[in-house]
Structure 1
């Protein structure tokens, strides 16, 4: 090979079949987690295989210098991984811009794709999604590329370590020092996996420090096992294969990666040892079946494309029936096979690419990477114009849409505020000593952004404090998100310090039990008396300043999120089947208990007023998600821009009174 690198070590029969088991486990898990609850550990199996195979591929390499060795190693890694990734990112980013709705959960999809081009999607996902099993990850077309980021970070370390081991004679002390250092790094990484699983699970999942041991034990097997003969291979094969298959079924998300990754990784090491040094036996024959070998050969491309198919179908036709799942499998295999046949293989064997001088080779890849990443960012900004989803129309859907400046200009400012945000609306037309409106609440307070802008445009300064899931009044058993208690206390303290007699405090929030969450979660139960008493104490402290407190009565909610069901290509999915047409009597019944709790609080605290949006949002017989062809709701319970406009007159009337 160019750069002085010689031929790689021979192929080991059965490893393609092992790859096939790993990728099929991941595919089945993503199709329906109920079928294979621990199938996600297939990625850990890949890590161990990769650690072994990459070390095996350089075992026979001869290079004239460390620089030449690195150049040859990275040439092969680039050609193996990047072309298929670039094609996937470009195609799926374009499809996503066309089909995915504009939503909080899709805001960073294209940016994740751009990060994946540079091996940083795992860092981006840690920063934005915070959890592989979160909704923001489940509906991101590039979530699966986190594992490529881990491997690529490992490749930054591998050449130096492998060069050291290759240059030392078998059995020499220096070689053993190197192997010992790798073993120590694996032990430290295993400890990191244990610690971070307890204290910061997303870090343990997404980043190399807690995953290095998985790749490292595969590498150690290759460097330690050259003179080892595995005896009793048939017995070890059966035990290890049974353990691996068991891990696919029983590994729990809440105990992962520690200790959940331990069993599949150890089992994979044993299987690799049998295939390499134990003669393979029946295991090699089983894993060498033609179908498994083919799936193993295309496993990388299949791994890339299977997730794109899953996410795009979730956003469009759905994956709720067996027929749709079968269609998904067919698309995955077709796209994975096509990528392998026409992208992976030709470019890995292209003599012109291999013949390029080292600077030209890597400069070419750098240019392509920048172009692909720039295309992702460009598509993100072009989405309002080229996207097909109705929710791209911000003036109708986005509750934070800022209307054109009217007679009174409003200056809007946003600053971090603990776990939430503080947003100020300062009207140029405000009179000296004008009354102020303070708004404190959960995401429903933030979803009144357009309404609050309209209030400010009439000369009333507004201060908004909002943090997701963090209401001032507790009427159910919802678990407060991290930082909520501190956010609530700090926000109310600022309101008490700034408010004067005559000012108004508005406390919106989600009180009506949901049919289901946006991602199909369960509803909540009523809060106990202690939490309601704490809520009353918070209100008393504000009322002591001589202000009026307006509490929002429970709004009606929809059975489906409208932005997920607003287009011809997603309206027929199983998720959208319940629709957005609720009998008013049903809406009244769903909010009866939280409304009774708020009425009791109002009775105990005479300074509290209750404002009920339901008569405006609902007709005499039905509460509908649309009115005059425009969505009242953005999702199942937050109002859209059109819904905000609908409530402006009613809310201004309340402030006037």
Structure 2
């Protein structure tokens, strides 16, 4: 799949928005900027929709052409896409505690097995906790090819629609049930994070929305083209749905937001992806680099933030927003080092081992 400037723009917005959200670790940007930072966690949901769309398009296109899924090749490419940079950052967190944004870290094997999001004790071990989203992505990579193969053996609109509806409604019921259960018991732990926000089975909406777009693109290309011809309508409808979701998430841990807020947010983001995937969207300088380096930036940005906050800020007279240019220089520098020294060489080695020239990677998450 060739690069699309609109999708690069969405990736760039997603990674920057997530990093703004995580400024709470360094005291935040102040009340005047709360409108920008408060909902930055939604950047991860942008990545989920993009992952579902791009990986879904890649695999469904092969199935639609009647090609056999080469699962070994798919898992091989995904592993080389994710593991080298992830392993380096995990080693930094394990062996250099001074660089952690929080003192305590879960056992290394939870990260290595991508079970962190299911087993984390968030109340005590918050360092590198943003790896939870990589766990969700890995579970998607593992299971989706098998599910796609099953669903397309005998293609049926009714069959696929029933499956999608069951997953959406099941997610609503599951999150609502978990919320009501925990709200009644009030366990002495951060149950919203551990039971609703992190677990894979509660966070399928974004990935599912992306896969639905991919299925539409592959199996109904004429309808897809007609929808893409209405880019502005998709954009405005998507922004309206996201605005409604933001209104629901004013109470981020509330029942209504966690029951129906996630599918609503994913629907709005899906419409943005539909609009952004139009080839008529112009490229914006810098977004291609941010998109390409988004995975390395996602992995390393908390380390960079912590380093500035702990060692550079106390040594300068700068305070508050005056320090922002320092963070804006150090965070991309650390991310670029990881991207150019580990992530890209890993991809080049992967392709040399596979004996094929490097193509455009179809991934989307900062994973």
**Which runs of no fewer than 5 residues in structure 2 stay unpaired?**
183-190, 357-367
The DSSP-based 3-state class of the residue aligned with 2:75 is helix
Task: After TM superposition, give the deviation of residue 53 of structure 1 in Å.
Answer: 1.2
Pick from 20, 43, 47 the counterpart of residue 28 of structure 1. Answer: 20
What is the alpha-carbon distance in structure 1 between the residues aligned to residue 230 and residue 133 of structure 2? 34
The match for 2:115 is 120
What is the alpha-carbon distance in structure 2 between the residues aligned to residue 245 and residue 293 of structure 1? 27
The match for 2:197 is 205
Change (3 A) 1:121 1:247: same
The match for 1:106 is 103
Task: After TM superposition, give the deviation of residue 304 of structure 1 in Å.
Answer: 0.9
Residue 129 in 1 paired to residue 103 in 2? no
When structure 1 is superposed on structure 2, of 25-34 and 79-88 the one drifting more is 25-34
Task: After TM superposition, give the deviation of residue 176 of structure 1 in Å.
Answer: 4.2
Task: After TM superposition, give the deviation of residue 259 of structure 1 in Å.
Answer: 4.4
What is the alpha-carbon distance in structure 2 between the residues aligned to residue 261 and residue 185 of structure 1? 12
**Which runs of no fewer than 5 residues in structure 1 stay unpaired?**
1-8, 131-135, 357-657
What is the alpha-carbon distance in structure 1 between the residues aligned to residue 246 and residue 217 of structure 2? 27
Task: After TM superposition, give the deviation of residue 93 of structure 1 in Å.
Answer: 2.9
What is the alpha-carbon distance in structure 2 between the residues aligned to residue 75 and residue 242 of structure 1? 39
- TM-score, normalised with respect to structure 1: 0.44
The match for 1:326 is 325
The match for 1:146 is 132
Say whether the 8 Å CA contact 2:103–2:127 is kept in structure 1: no
The match for 1:336 is 335
The DSSP-based 3-state class of the residue aligned with 2:60 is coil
Pick from 138, 143, 167 the counterpart of residue 185 of structure 1. Answer: 167
Say whether the 8 Å CA contact 1:99–1:316 is kept in structure 2: no
**Larger relative strand fraction:** 1
Task: After TM superposition, give the deviation of residue 160 of structure 1 in Å.
Answer: 0.8
What is the alpha-carbon distance in structure 2 between the residues aligned to residue 270 and residue 237 of structure 1? 6
- TM-score, normalised with respect to structure 2: 0.76
Change (3 A) 1:80 1:249: farther
Deviation track 1:22-79 (CA, whole Å, cap 9, x = no partner) reads 111111111226422111111112111111111112233379996x621122112111
The match for 1:237 is 235
The match for 2:360 is none
> Aligned ranges for residues 387-406 of structure 1 at < 5 Å?
none
The match for 2:216 is 224
What is the alpha-carbon distance in structure 2 between the residues aligned to residue 316 and residue 263 of structure 1? 42
Change (3 A) 1:257 1:303: farther
Deviation track 1:258-291 (CA, whole Å, cap 9, x = no partner) reads 4443443222110122234xx454xx22xx2021
The DSSP-based 3-state class of the residue aligned with 2:303 is helix
Change (3 A) 1:317 1:10: closer
Say whether the 8 Å CA contact 2:168–2:205 is kept in structure 1: yes
Change (3 A) 1:314 1:14: same
Change (3 A) 1:100 1:181: closer
Say whether the 8 Å CA contact 1:121–1:145 is kept in structure 2: yes
Alignment RMSD, CA only? 3.2
Change (3 A) 1:197 1:316: farther
The DSSP-based 3-state class of the residue aligned with 1:38 is coil
**Larger relative helix fraction:** 2
Based on CA coordinates, which of the two structures has the bigger radius of gyration?
1
What is the alpha-carbon distance in structure 2 between the residues aligned to residue 347 and residue 291 of structure 1? 23
The DSSP-based 3-state class of the residue aligned with 1:58 is helix
Task: After TM superposition, give the deviation of residue 177 of structure 1 in Å.
Answer: 1.7
Q: Across the two proteins, how many residue pairs are aligned to each other?
A: 322
The DSSP-based 3-state class of the residue aligned with 2:265 is helix
Task: After TM superposition, give the deviation of residue 149 of structure 1 in Å.
Answer: 0.9
Deviation track 1:441-481 (CA, whole Å, cap 9, x = no partner) reads xxxxxxxxxxxxxxxxxxxxxxxxxxxxxxxxxxxxxxxxx
Deviation track 1:371-397 (CA, whole Å, cap 9, x = no partner) reads xxxxxxxxxxxxxxxxxxxxxxxxxxx
What is the alpha-carbon distance in structure 1 between the residues aligned to residue 306 and residue 241 of structure 2? 30
The match for 2:187 is none
When structure 1 is superposed on structure 2, of 254-263 and 81-90 the one drifting more is 254-263
> Aligned ranges for residues 543-558 of structure 1 at < 5 Å?
none
What is the alpha-carbon distance in structure 1 between the residues aligned to residue 253 and residue 10 of structure 2? 26
Deviation track 1:511-565 (CA, whole Å, cap 9, x = no partner) reads xxxxxxxxxxxxxxxxxxxxxxxxxxxxxxxxxxxxxxxxxxxxxxxxxxxxxxx
Deviation track 1:384-438 (CA, whole Å, cap 9, x = no partner) reads xxxxxxxxxxxxxxxxxxxxxxxxxxxxxxxxxxxxxxxxxxxxxxxxxxxxxxx
> Which fold has the larger relative contact order, with Cα–Cα distance below 8 Å and residues 6 or more apart in sequence?
2
What is the alpha-carbon distance in structure 1 between the residues aligned to residue 246 and residue 96 of structure 2? 31
Task: After TM superposition, give the deviation of residue 310 of structure 1 in Å.
Answer: 2.9
Deviation track 1:196-245 (CA, whole Å, cap 9, x = no partner) reads 34435231111011111221121112113442221532132134246547
Say whether the 8 Å CA contact 2:296–2:338 is kept in structure 1: yes
> Aligned ranges for residues 41-60 of structure 1 at < 5 Å?
41-60=42-61
> Aligned ranges for residues 512-523 of structure 1 at < 5 Å?
none
Change (3 A) 1:313 1:266: same
What is the alpha-carbon distance in structure 1 between the residues aligned to residue 306 and residue 177 of structure 2? 32
> Aligned ranges for residues 180-329 of structure 1 at < 5 Å?
180-198=162-180, 199=182, 200-202=191-193, 203-226=195-218, 227=220, 228=223, 229-230=226-227, 231-241=229-239, 244=242, 251-252=249-250, 253-255=252-254, 257-276=258-277, 279-281=278-280, 284-285=281-282, 288-313=283-308, 321-329=320-328
